[in-house]
Amino acid sequence: MGFSFHGWGRLGGGLMAAGSLGLLAAGGAETPAAEPANAPVAKLLAAKPEVLESDYFEVAGPDYASAVTVLQMARALQGNLAKYFAWPEAGRVRAIQVQLVPVAQADFAAPFKVLAEARDGHRIALVRWSAETKFSDVCLAMSSAALEQLVMWQAGPAAAAKTPDWLRIGFGVELEAGLKPAVLDQLAEQAESVPSLTLRQIMTAHGPYGDALPVLEVNAYWLTRFLQEEARMSGTPEKATALFQALAAGTAPVDALRAAFPGEFTDAQTLEMWWAVGYRDLAARHKLPVQSMAQTRAELDGWQSLVIEVAGHDRKVGLEEAWASRALPQTKAAVQEQLDEARAGLPWANPVYYNAVWSLAACLEALRHDDAAAYQAAWKRYQDDRAKAEATEAEVTAAMGG
C-alpha cells in the first residue's frame, strides 16, 4: 500500500459544546494503559514487512515509505521526551515496537492499541494502517507506548500502568504540533473557543472519551506546555524533569505540583487560578509564523543539493550526483547535515509544500542508508509532490492576481 500525507489530519469530529463535559468531569470508564499480550507478540503484518530501526524504536510497516515516515516521527518524539526523561544507553534495551497493521489484517477496531508483553511488560504499539490513518492517531500511539516504556524502565510495571491519559495525549499533540505548524495555530485558536477544563478534570480524565476527546486534546496540550514553561521560567529546568517523571509514574498530581512549585499556591482555588490564567496567556503567545510558499520552495531547492569538499574545495552537487559518491565520508556527513536541516524545517514549512518536504527527507534517509530501491522510489515521490505543490502555488498566485 502506498503512503501519502494527503487526507491526514487531526482527530475527526466537531468541537463539543460546553455542556457536554460530563464525561470528563465524572472521570468516565477507565481505559487500561496497555493491554496484556502473550510473549512474543505475533507479527500482524504481511510475510515480509519493511522494518526500520533507530536507537530506541523499531517500526514495521507494509512498505518503506510508511515505515520511514513513522520512524522519522519516532525520532522527533524521542528528542521531545529526552528533555524530561532519561533514556537508557542505546543498545542495552529492546526498541519500542511500532507496527503499522493494514486494516484488512487488523483484529482491533480502535485506531491503535498499546500492548504489554507478559514476560517483561515491553510496550508494542499497533496502528490500524490505511490511506485514512490520521496523523494525530499515530502521534498518540507512539507517545503512549514511549511514555509507558520509559516509566517501565525507570520505575517498573506497576508505575507504568498508572501513566495518566492526559500526559500521553499532551505529549502526543506536542509531537503533532512540532511536525505540522498549522496544528499549533489551530491549537492557539481553539484555546479561545474550546471549553476550559480544570486541572482536576484534565489530570483525572479517563476514557473512553468519544466526542469529548478534542476538548481534552487542546487542554492537555496546553497544560503540558504550561508546566514546561513554568519550570523553565523558575530558573531550574530540572524541575520539569522531576515533575514529568513523577506525573508519568502516577504520583498524585497535587503532590507533584506542590513539590515542583513550592509556595506557588496554597489551596485548590489558587491552584486552579494559577492554571486558568497561565493557560490563556501561554496560548496567546504561541502562534508560529508559517513560511510562504516561495520560502519553502526555496528551502527545498537548497536541501536537494549537497556541498561536498573535493580536493580542498567545496563543490555543490545534486542528490543524483551525490548517489555516486555516497560511500565517501564527506558525502555521508553532508547528507546527514542536509537531513537534519530538512527535519528541523518541517514545523515552519508551508502546508502546500509539506508533502514535498517529507518525501525529500525520505530521499535523504534512503541515501544515508545506501538503499537504492528506496532512494529511487523516494526521489520519484518527491518530484511528484514538488510538481503538485508548484501547480497549486501557481493556481493560488493566479487567483490572487499575482
* Domain co-membership, 95 together with 214: yes
**Locus of grid cell 517483561:** 120
How large is the average pLDDT for residues 1-13?
A: 34
What is the pLDDT at residue 150?
95
| Cα atoms in the Cβ-side hemisphere of radius 13 Å centred on 83 | 15
- Residue 29 sits in the same domain as residue 64: yes
**Res 40 pLDDT > 70:** no
The confidence score (pLDDT) of residue 237 equals 65
Question: Which of the residue ranges 150-154, 211-215, 265-269, 397-401 would you say has the lowest mean pLDDT?
Answer: 397-401
* pLDDT range class, residue 29, cuts 50, 70, 90: very low
pLDDT at position 185: 81
Cell numbers standing for residue 173: 499533540
- Model pLDDT, residue 133: 93
Is the per-residue pLDDT at 306 higher than 60? yes
377 part of a folded domain:
yes
Strands 112-117 and 123-129, by their bridges, are: antiparallel
102 DSSP assignment: E
Report residue 397's pLDDT band, with 50, 70 and 90 as the boundaries: confident
State what percent of residues in the chain have pLDDT above 90: 34
Q: Is residue 170 part of a domain?
A: yes
Q: What is the pLDDT of residue 401?
A: 64
Are both 139 and 269 inside the same structural domain?
yes
17: pLDDT strictly greater than 50: no
- For residues 272 and 302, state if they share a domain: no
Mean pLDDT of all residues belonging to the chain: 82
pLDDT, position 307: 84
CB–CB of 134/52 below 8 Å?
Answer: no
Grid cell digits, residue 241: 524533569
Sequence-ordered strand ranges (E) for 221-369: 305-310, 313-318
Residue 23 has pLDDT above 50, yes or no: no
| Mean pLDDT of the 157-178 span | 92
What pLDDT was estimated at residue 283? 79
pLDDT score, position 13: 29
Q: Which is more confidently placed, 3 or 372?
A: 372
Q: Which of 284, 306, 334 is the last residue of a domain?
A: 284
Considering all CA atoms of the chain, what is the largest pairwise distance in Å, rounded to the nearest integer? 70
Do 115 and 186 lie in a common domain?
A: yes
The domain in which residue 208 lies consists of 18-284
Are 71 and 203 found together in one domain? yes
Q: pLDDT digit string (tens) for 61-97?
A: 998 889 998 998 999 999 899 989 999 988 888 999 9
**Closest CA relative to residue 137, chosen from 278, 316, 12:** 12
Mean per-residue pLDDT, 267-272: 88
* Within-domain flag for 250: yes
**The amino acid at 334:** A
Cell (9 digits) for 350:
508551508
| Residue 66: closest CA among 2, 127, 161, 138 | 2
Q: Kindly give the pairing relationship between strand 96-102 and strand 123-129.
A: parallel
Where is pLDDT greater, at 21 or 288? 288
Residue range 190-245, pLDDT digits in tens: 888 888 899 999 999 987 888 888 999 999 999 999 998 888 776 666 788 899 99
Residue 5 lies in a domain: no
Bridge partners for 380 per DSSP: none
- Give the pLDDT of residue 141: 96
**Stretch 143-148: mean pLDDT:** 96
Least trusted range by pLDDT, from 147-156, 309-318, 351-360: 309-318
pLDDT digits (tens, 9 = 90+) for 123-134: 999 999 998 999
88 within a domain of the structure (yes/no): yes
**How many domains are contained in the chain?**
2
User: Are residue 222 and residue 74 in the same domain, yes or no?
Assistant: yes
Q: Is there a domain that residue 6 lies in?
A: no
Q: What CA–CA distance (Å, rounded) separates 274 from 164?
A: 21
**116 inside domain:** yes
